[in-house]
Copies of this chain bind each other. A is one copy, B any other.
Amino acid sequence: MRRILLTNDDGITRPGLWALYDVVKDLGEVYVVAPESARSATGMSITLHKPLRLKRLLIHGSTAYACSGTPSDCVIVAVNKVLSGKPPDLIVSGINEGNNVSLQAVYGSGTVAAAVRGALIGVPSAAFSLASRENEPLSFAWLKEATGRAAERARPFIEWLLNNGMPKGVDYFNVNFPPEVNSHTPVKVTKAGKIRYTEMVNERQDPQGRLYYWLHGKLVPEEMFEPDTDVYALFVEKSISVSPMRLNTSVEDLSSLKHIADFFRSGR
């Protein structure tokens, strides 16, 4: 029986997690270990300075473990404790509420981080995210319905991953669905764009007159998105974007860079 670890970064009660659960539950033994509440934008953050708690819950008739930490903590605790040290056959993360396209998202997203954690221990992994509708607040009912549509499209891909493992040279997948995804939505195999948001800082004054700051982002104009990237596929082509990702970020050919060592010799 194949073992599937399911996690997310929005929290264990969120509809995107259970939409994935519904479509993978008959593909193997599914272990749900997810943050007890939202851990968005936590990236690869792990919890070393305080202990973690794990709560065993019954959600939708299934055993699930709510973890007090980040998605990375969830993967580490799941593999070492819930799965008794034997890595699962597949790690599935999501479906995230909001897109995770571009390197900016890949590096900062807790949902993607769970897949990167899987890749670090050599487990086939995939992260799934659903872009939000423009100018529409997120409603639970809509999320439930839309992540259901997305999960239907994810299912045969997950089944293929379980049966075949990762393709050579791919360490994990980053998959993004447009909000209107349905059974006819085309699929593009993409690279990650560089950024999707220009980072902004909003300055305000508190009632005591002291300044405080909100981070936020302004979507990069569509005409700056390069074709064949995830941002282009999702926002311009309204397609499902599938990005095969590598773990390794080292420069491969160091031959022209060996001389850099010389610059560490002080001339002072």
CB within 8 Å of B: which of A4-25?
none
Whether the pair A201, B244 counts as a contact (CB closer than 8 A) is no
Q: How far is the CA of A120 from the CA of B213 in the complex (A)?
A: 21
How many copies of this chain are found per oligomer? 2
A104 near B120 with CB under 8 A, answer: yes
B108–A46 touching, CB < 8 Å: yes
A12-41 interface code vs B (CB 8 A; 1 in, 0 out): 000000000000000000000000001011
CB pair B45–A45 under 8 Å, yes or no, is: yes
Do B54 and A108 touch (CB < 8 A)? Answer: no
12 A-B pairs whose Cβ atoms sit less than 8 Å apart in the complex: A43-B44, A45-B108, A80-B199, A80-B200, A103-B248, A155-B266, A156-B265, A167-B257, A244-B251, A244-B257, A244-B260, A245-B250
A residues near B (Cβ < 8 Å) are: 38, 40-49, 51-54, 72-73, 76-77, 79-81, 103-104, 106-108, 113, 116, 120-121, 152-157, 160, 167, 169-170, 183, 186-192, 194-195, 199-201, 203-204, 210-216, 228, 240, 242-252, 254, 256-258, 260-268
> Other than the known A41-B48, A73-B215, A157-B263, what 14 A-B pairs have Cβ atoms closer than 8 Å?
A40-B49, A76-B199, A76-B215, A103-B247, A103-B248, A121-B199, A153-B266, A156-B268, A157-B264, A169-B251, A192-B249, A242-B264, A243-B251, A244-B250
